[in-house]
Structure 1
Amino acid sequence: MQAWQHLYDPFNNIYLSALVATIPVIFFFLALTVLRLKGHIAGAITLLLSIAIAIFAFAMPVKMALLSAVHGFIYGLWPIAWIIIGAVFLYKLTVKSGQFDIIRDSIVYITDDKRLQVLLIGFCFGGFLEGAAGFGAPVAITAALLAGLGFNPVYAAGLCLIANTAPVAFGALGIPITVAGSVSGIEANSIGAMTSRQLCLLAAFVPLWIVFIMDGIKGVKETLPATLVTGISFAVVQYITAHYISYQLAGITSALISMLCLTMLLKVWQPKTNQSLQINGGGTASISHSTDEKKPLNYSFQQILLAWSPFIILTIMVSVWTLKTIKDALSVFSLQFIFDGIQIMKAAPVATGAKDDFIKNIFILDIVAATGTAIFIAAIISVFILKVKPKLALCTLWDTLKELKWSIFSIGMVLAFAFVTNNSGMSVTMALVLAGTGIAFPFFSPFLGWLGVFLTGSDTSANALFSSLQANTANQLDLSSTLMVAANSSGGVTGKMISPQSIAVACAATNQVGKESDLFRFTVKHSLFFAVIVGVINLVICYVTPWMIYS
């Protein structure tokens, strides 16, 4: 079959072409914010729109457009949905076994302040899971934990998505940075170090912003020691690790040290007034402040260790599973399926004349090596450790699958939309408009990453899409290519919280299927605000403090 080459400007006007390419994205925004459609309905209509525009506007062969959608849908099922099934199953086992009551009480014993619980679980523990595993597992686990602590599920999911911003660039042992290096031809260590310089300020700011969302300026003042310790320790350790140890470990070390510092602080200091949740009639929750002393913890160390054992096992499993030697060894059991009907070649100015100009359309069924498998094995081990009866475990798994059916469909739809958008070249058309902003490009550069993560749900995929474009544009404008490629990853982290994939995952984990529009409206303003912050940081580094550029 002859390869089809991308057509980035079908209307001979890049702005008009980009506007047409943006129609599915605009519709998806409106579907969730104005029309308030359910996620799977919004995703399905957006997919149909993207297929129609790819075929009739961008001249994509019908067969390739349809196969791209099929490929994306299957990818949504494996490995993405598989991760969510394992994570929710594990959480439900702790609830069914009665151990979650002990988990909840042990967290409350550290702090019964809801603001600090979000920092401890959503920011620190979620950051560690992102650094070790990524791909949706962190938000699924932490949002479920917060919902179990009494948070409104949609509110918990939104806070966890925002908290997940800081570690995304170094997620899954630094895979986004590794991919950025391989695509752009720039040393990955340099990109990792530069990314840490861009994200230090944002990482230190996120805990303050989370508390501000929850309790305004008054809450920020009351919890200032905790937010500063959490954010600054995270930022400093991320910087040191990325520069002097290994960017692959930057997500893990920063989250662990931040969690340790916050926990140690809470042993000697607590806010004078605690923010707590009070359940009202009808199951709604309201915020209240009190000065009550926390209750003693009436469990032994062994009981607490047993209750937390599923998450300890989860942490060990995903950490081991993502080690390169282990992953390579397990990959021998993987199966590859090539979509022969999809032969697509990039065009100028994205094409470089290399073999990488051909878009790879290979589906890998990594049954053993998948992160979801590690999580599922952790859940099976937990069945035995928690002494859950086999019948109850099977019923719990079946209930999990039934609850997640529409969420899994939603994830499949949005991934199908992403694959069509990327394979048709529409995503590059949108990116070329941003790349043509000239002297203002350093500000808009992170928005390329933001767009890429919104479309794909992955900072890794966004770097694969646009790192080469970032480097080429930087060279044409006589700017630092290392700075702009790093900005792609830094900007990408701000798009994770509104990615349709992330929204579907968070709703699935908190049993809020159909509430995707509520969650999207909650996170979108924070996503845009963070993206602007990263844009300003990149602009300042480029023109005001160029000595900060890593070389």
Structure 2
Amino acid sequence: MFQQPIAPVGGSLGWSALVAALPLLLLFVLLGVFRVRAWLASLIGLVASLVVALAVYGMPGDQAFSSAAEGIAFGLFPAMWIVVNAIWIYRMTVTSGHFDVLRRSFASVSDDFRVQAIIIAFAFGALLEALAGFGAPVAICAVMLVALGLPPLKAAAVALVANTAPVAYGAVALPVITLSRITGLPLDDVAVMTGRQVPLLAVIVPFVLLGLVDGKRGLREAWPAALVGGVGFGVAQCLMAHFGPIQLADIVASLVSAGAVLLLLRSWRPAGGSRSLGDDEQVLTVAPGGGPGTAHVGAGDRRSEVVRAFGPYGVIILLFAVAALPPVAAALGSVTKSFAWPGVHVLTAEGKPLSLATFKFDWLANSGTILFIAGLLTIAILGLTVPEAVRTYGRTLRQLAGAIVTVVSVLGLAYVLNLSGQTATLGQFLAGAGAAFALLSPVLGWFGTAVTGSDTSSNSLFGLLQVSAAQHAGMSPLLAAAGNTTGGVLGKMLSPQNLAIGASAVGLAGREGDLLRKVLVATLIFLPLMCLLVYLQSTPVLGWMVP
């Protein structure tokens, strides 16, 4: 039995935290400074975490490597099982030609890239996040934007930044449900408190997307679309968090957002210019309606083909809605297997066992399995043959090979950090800020998601720690817990696996470092605002917002 040390470096929490952070710092320096490929940087970070666990924290070798193996297993299932099946469905629409129908349908709504970014990356991407999450919205929306004519690097950056506001309630509200289970706080309270933070992001994100696509001119000419789309999403998400089934929060919000923009476009069109690109990108043509846009849209597709193009996503919504029904959910969950991961016997510094040592194999209730079933139905909807679908699955696996290595390496790293005690050291160091911890609470969630690529994983890692630190700092535990998941949504755009997924989806594998620098500005805008909001909610100024 291994008991985690909190301050193994000379009894100093500060020095211990610095050493514990080295694997993460190494990972981000390799990515952002030296432009090392994400899969290689992640493997190096995993090795570094093992070295620190063995040499500094005194973790037995068999347990350290077994911890890494558990993280790798989690990366394969459920994380990549979800992503692979979601991308498989998308690639089948490409194989059948229905992706072009889908693209033309979106293009016919508006010939302006800035509006398309809001409708596709923000609204449609939020719908995909609500249904699947784990990188699928980034890959699908980035490819769709490239198909419409947006340059690859810009398309991937737009998709990553757009994938923020829906994350807390993504994958059918899995992050907030997990946070409630980890902390023991009532789910309704966690959902409501989170719903009083993340909708603010929903209002701001579309404006940042306009800036990414077209700079100041985009903000000046297309701001009504950003305002209507963002406010529509934020209000719907907030209302669903308070009064509706939280599993449907992002689904309703995405549909309201898209509907609001479509209504606006019936009486308003943005002014346009001739180009919206940087020096390193191709020049766009001017769309017939004026402004940066795609080439001329065709005469139109038959209604039956448009229905078939949207059919796979309708099937996904239907299957998830059915799976969320209590009797069905209970039946699916009845075959879930949970077992102690072999070779991991870890106690916290307080002598308590860690729940991460238990592996949950929910093979039937998993979102990836539901997506796989949707994929089987998609074969019939799109009129593909079984051999075509199988070949498409193989191409999907080859396309995502680098992303798979990145994901499993980073999650292996995360499990080593958490089970060896490195995460606990870093968390306690931040919690030592006392009353100022309210400012740092979102940073901790951001950090967890940036490492694992999942707000759910970040809540698993730091949720209980946030509650404990808040109690010592005299802060509301509920506020700290919500601050973790809200801050976490901002780290997703920087996580190595999401960078790898976005880059590989648009044919830029190996340029994850360029993509990181592209989205870094957005994080520097969002994170301070969220830290300030949580801090004000911990004071009488906005304390009335805490249930």
In the alignment, which of 309, 316, 322 is matched to residue 314 of structure 1? 316
1:42 deviation in Å?
0.6
Alignment partner of 1:4 is 2:2: yes
Gap change, CA 1:440 and 1:29, over 3 Å in 2: same
Measure, in 1, the Cα distance between the counterparts of 2:22 and 2:504: 27
Alignment partner of 1:393 is 2:389: yes
Residue of structure 2 in register with 1:534 after alignment: 530
Residue of structure 1 in register with 2:289 after alignment: 292
Deviations 1:181-204 (A, max 9, x none): 233232221222122212232220
Deviations 1:323-350 (A, max 9, x none): 55434322344444532310111224xx
Q: Secondary structure at the match of 2:231?
A: helix
Alignment partner of 1:378 is 2:380: no
Equivalent runs, 1:319-468 vs 2, <5 Å = 319-323=321-325, 325-348=327-350, 357-468=353-464
Is the 8 Å Cα contact of residues 109 and 297 (structure 1) preserved in structure 2? no
Equivalent runs, 1:171-210 vs 2, <5 Å = 171-210=170-209
Is the 8 Å Cα contact of residues 322 and 371 (structure 1) preserved in structure 2? no
Measure, in 1, the Cα distance between the counterparts of 2:328 and 2:504: 29
Gap change, CA 1:320 and 1:137, over 3 Å in 2: farther
1:206 deviation in Å?
0.7
Instruction: Give the stretch that moved more between structures: 334-343 or 50-59.
Output: 334-343
Amino acid at match of 2:289: D
Q: Secondary structure at the match of 1:286?
A: coil
Deviations 1:109-147 (A, max 9, x none): 001111111111111111122223323332232223223
Alignment partner of 1:501 is 2:497: yes
Instruction: Give the stretch that moved more between structures: 382-391 or 49-58.
Output: 382-391
1:458 deviation in Å?
1.7
Q: Percent identity?
A: 35
Alignment partner of 1:25 is 2:24: yes
Measure, in 1, the Cα distance between the counterparts of 2:382 and 2:131: 24
1:391 deviation in Å?
3.1
Gap change, CA 1:45 and 1:278, over 3 Å in 2: closer
Amino acid at match of 2:438: P
1:297 deviation in Å?
4.2
Is the 8 Å Cα contact of residues 172 and 322 (structure 1) preserved in structure 2? no
Residue of structure 2 in register with 1:136 after alignment: 135
Residue of structure 1 in register with 2:293 after alignment: none
Gap change, CA 1:539 and 1:187, over 3 Å in 2: same
Is the 8 Å Cα contact of residues 494 and 528 (structure 1) preserved in structure 2? no
Instruction: Give the stretch that moved more between structures: 78-87 or 388-397.
Output: 388-397
1:169 deviation in Å?
1.1
Gap change, CA 1:435 and 1:160, over 3 Å in 2: same
Tell me how many residue pairs correspond in the alignment. 541
Measure, in 1, the Cα distance between the counterparts of 2:262 and 2:467: 41
Instruction: Say what the alpha-carbon RMSD is for the aligned residues.
Output: 2.4
1:35 deviation in Å?
1.0
Residue of structure 1 in register with 2:515 after alignment: 519
Residue of structure 1 in register with 2:113 after alignment: 114
Instruction: Give the stretch that moved more between structures: 246-255 or 10-19.
Output: 246-255
Deviations 1:174-224 (A, max 9, x none): 222222223323222122212221223222011011111221222112111
Residue of structure 2 in register with 1:303 after alignment: 305
1:278 deviation in Å?
9.4
Equivalent runs, 1:70-149 vs 2, <5 Å = 70-149=69-148
Q: Secondary structure at the match of 1:363?
A: strand
Q: Secondary structure at the match of 2:283?
A: strand
Amino acid at match of 1:268: S
1:448 deviation in Å?
1.0
Is the 8 Å Cα contact of residues 112 and 287 (structure 2) preserved in structure 1? no
Amino acid at match of 2:283: S
Deviations 1:276-311 (A, max 9, x none): 78999xx95334555636756422322211222222
Instruction: Provide structure 2 residue ranges, at least 5 long, that are not aligned to the other structure.
Output: 291-295
Q: Secondary structure at the match of 2:355?
A: coil
Gap change, CA 1:106 and 1:9, over 3 Å in 2: same
Is the 8 Å Cα contact of residues 190 and 482 (structure 1) preserved in structure 2? yes
Is the 8 Å Cα contact of residues 129 and 315 (structure 1) preserved in structure 2? no
Gap change, CA 1:482 and 1:174, over 3 Å in 2: same
Gap change, CA 1:45 and 1:273, over 3 Å in 2: same
Measure, in 1, the Cα distance between the counterparts of 2:180 and 2:369: 28
Is the 8 Å Cα contact of residues 442 and 530 (structure 2) preserved in structure 1? yes
Measure, in 1, the Cα distance between the counterparts of 2:475 and 2:310: 49
Q: Secondary structure at the match of 1:285?
A: coil
Residue of structure 2 in register with 1:66 after alignment: 65
Is the 8 Å Cα contact of residues 131 and 316 (structure 2) preserved in structure 1? no
Measure, in 1, the Cα distance between the counterparts of 2:347 and 2:5: 10
Measure, in 2, the Cα distance between the counterparts of 1:278 and 1:393: 37
Instruction: Give the stretch that moved more between structures: 133-142 or 433-442.
Output: 133-142
Gap change, CA 1:126 and 1:21, over 3 Å in 2: same
Measure, in 1, the Cα distance between the counterparts of 2:75 and 2:464: 25
Measure, in 2, the Cα distance between the counterparts of 1:198 and 1:404: 33
Instruction: Give the stretch that moved more between structures: 334-343 or 45-54.
Output: 334-343
Measure, in 2, the Cα distance between the counterparts of 1:462 and 1:388: 39
Amino acid at match of 1:163: A
Measure, in 1, the Cα distance between the counterparts of 2:185 and 2:376: 42
Gap change, CA 1:228 and 1:460, over 3 Å in 2: same
How high is the TM-score relative to the length of structure 2?
0.92
Measure, in 1, the Cα distance between the counterparts of 2:87 and 2:355: 34
Measure, in 1, the Cα distance between the counterparts of 2:136 and 2:297: 32
Instruction: Provide structure 1 residue ranges, at least 5 long, that are not aligned to the other structure.
Output: none
Measure, in 2, the Cα distance between the counterparts of 1:85 and 1:471: 35
Residue of structure 2 in register with 1:251 after alignment: 250
Instruction: Give the stretch that moved more between structures: 357-366 or 181-190.
Output: 357-366
Gap change, CA 1:467 and 1:279, over 3 Å in 2: closer
